[in-house]
């Protein structure tokens, strides 16, 4: 009997992944990752953020434990706090300092879930590891999950094909509604648990209050890029991203204004009047840190520049093994430095990289 170590997060997806593995006849072992120190999981007053007097991370562990006890499988707990800080959270802060919009979940998959976790799983005798991701692996290739609304291949774009070896995604062929139904049928405590929407492992919180603990607020001017007029002040460039409308708090027509760029050196946040404004449109981008999962390196394919975005037809011009110019003459809105550009050929996720620079018709957009 083959042994599978499944990452138990305390959510419904990993819970049902464990059920599917048991049904397939595997010897299943649960492993819960503690990747953030709950003592720094603080609110604005510096107090631990509690839910019924229990930190959310501890509640997740208790839920995972209850599920494993219900399914009669062991649950181990491992501390990756240092690894998460060194490889994910430090990266997150560094990118924010540059005025970019990072995606820490992608780096968490690369360095924690499919690296540190795998090493620990092997110590437990794992033949395979499994997670509750909505994705599929076939013949060493990564494919989208069948549930288009939940597909998580975008977040797996920085893992290597080597890391995909001996990996199982038990719910990749399922719809979310099916997952919840199975959890209900097994009377699991996670059956109706809300999906996590916060930063990977850090959870849901007041983002501005949280970041104050690590990066100083540096207020500056908000400038209308069309008139060069100062129309307000921002609380720190790290709190804003390209295309953002909410949270500008300028009064009057602020609900019609959109963030279109940043000037890091002068600490200026640029806005424009409406969503259709040409300042949000680019036609090409330089993508760095390219990670190819597939052997297929296309000249033309589709790409997503953010999660849940529709597929965009693109052409690739290779500068070197890890850097490409991605061209999309049809124009795409709100392509944002720091975010991931992920490439697809039909249902296969080919890999992806990080958006370094955004251009329009060959000219770098000076305000990005």
pLDDT digits (tens, 9 = 90+) for 165-188: 999 999 999 999 999 999 999 999
Place of tokens 């819960």: 32
pLDDT at 204: 56
Spell out the domain ranges in the chain.
Answer: 3-207, 216-272, 278-364
Q: How far apart are CA 368 and CA 360, in angstroms?
A: 11
Q: For position 50, what pLDDT does the model report? A: 45
* Residue 169 confidence (pLDDT): 98
CATH class of residue range 278-364 = mainly beta
Q: What is the pLDDT of residue 105?
A: 94
CA 174, 178, 182, 183 torsion: positive or negative? positive
Burial of residue 131 (CB within 10 Å: 0-12, 13-18, 19+) is buried
Gap between the Cα atoms of 14 and 130, Å rounded: 9
For residue 194, the SS3 value is coil
Q: Give the position of tokens 């997150």.
A: 92
Strand order in the sheet with 128-130: 75-79, 27-34, 3-7, 128-130, 167-168
Instruction: Show the tokens assigned to 114.
Output: 């499919």
CA distances for 282 relative to 190, 237, 326, 368, angstroms = 42, 21, 11, 11
Residue 68: active-site member:
no
Residues in the chain, how many? Answer: 368
Residues in the chain with pLDDT < 70? 38-55, 197-206, 249, 251-255, 275
Count of Cβ atoms closer than 10 Å to residue 313 Cβ: 12
Given CATH 3.40.50.620, say whether it is the number of domain 3-207: yes
Q: How far apart are CA 59 and CA 51, in angstroms?
A: 8
Of 4, 7, 2, whose CA–CA distance to 201 is shortest?
7
Question: Tens digit of pLDDT for each residue in 200-214?
Answer: 556 555 677 788 888
Helix ranges (H only) for the chain are 12-23, 56-71, 81-84, 90-97, 104-108, 117-123, 176-185, 207-211
Catalytic residue among 55, 68, 108, 349: 108
Catalytic, out of 55, 200, 301, 349? 200
Please give the structure tokens belonging to residue 245.
């409308």
| Whether 143 contacts 95, CB under 8 Å | no
How many other CB atoms sit within 10 Å of the CB of residue 281?
Answer: 17
341 is catalytic: no
Beta bridge partners of 341: 353
Fold of the 216-272 domain: SH3 type barrels. (2.30.30)
pLDDT on residue 330:
96
Query: What confidence score (pLDDT) does residue 55 get?
Result: 66
Q: Which single residue is written with the structure tokens 């879930």?
A: 113
């Amino acid at each position: 009997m083959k042994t599978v170590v499944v990452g138990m997060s305390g959510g419904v997806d990993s819970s049902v992944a464990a059920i599917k593995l048991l049904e397939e006849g595997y010897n299943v072992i649960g492993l819960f990752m503690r990747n953030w120190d709950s003592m720094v999981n603080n609110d604005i007053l510096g107090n631990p953020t509690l839910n019924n007097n229990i930190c959310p991370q501890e509640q997740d562990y208790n839920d995972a434990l209850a599920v494993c006890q219900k399914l009669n499988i062991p649950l181990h707990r491992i501390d990756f706090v240092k690894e998460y800080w060194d490889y994910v959270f430090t990266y997150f802060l560094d990118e924010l300092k540059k005025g970019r919009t990072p995606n820490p979940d992608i780096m968490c998959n690369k360095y924690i879930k499919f690296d540190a976790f795998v090493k620990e799983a092997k110590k437990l005798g794992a033949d395979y590891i499994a997670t509750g991701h909505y994705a599929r692996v076939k013949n060493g290739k990564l494919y989208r999950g069948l549930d288009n609304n939940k597909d998580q291949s975008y977040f797996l774009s920085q893992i290597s094909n080597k890391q995909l070896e001996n990996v199982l995604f038990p719910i990749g062929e399922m719809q979310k509604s099916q997952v919840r139904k199975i959890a209900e049928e097994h009377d699991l405590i996670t059956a109706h648990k809300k999906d996590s929407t916060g930063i990977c492992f850090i959870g849901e919180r007041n983002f501005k209050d949280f970041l104050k603990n690590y990066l100083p607020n540096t207020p500056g001017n908000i400038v209308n890029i069309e008139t060069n007029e100062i129309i307000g002040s921002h609380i720190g460039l790290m709190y804003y991203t390209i295309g953002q409308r909410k949270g500008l708090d300028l009064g009057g027509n602020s609900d019609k204004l959109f963030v279109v760029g940043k000037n890091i050196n002068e600490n200026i946040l640029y806005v424009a009047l409406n969503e259709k404004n040409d300042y949000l449109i680019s036609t090409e981008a330089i993508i760095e840190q390219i990670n190819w999962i597939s052997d297929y390196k296309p000249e033309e394919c589709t790409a997503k520049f953010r999660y849940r975005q529709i597929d965009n037809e693109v052409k690739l011009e290779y500068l070197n093994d890890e850097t490409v110019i991605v061209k999309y003459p049809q124009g795409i809105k709100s392509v944002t430095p720091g975010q991931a550009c992920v490439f697809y050929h039909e249902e296969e996720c080919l890999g992806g990289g990080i958006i370094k620079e955004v251009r329009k018709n060959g000219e770098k957009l000076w305000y990005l």
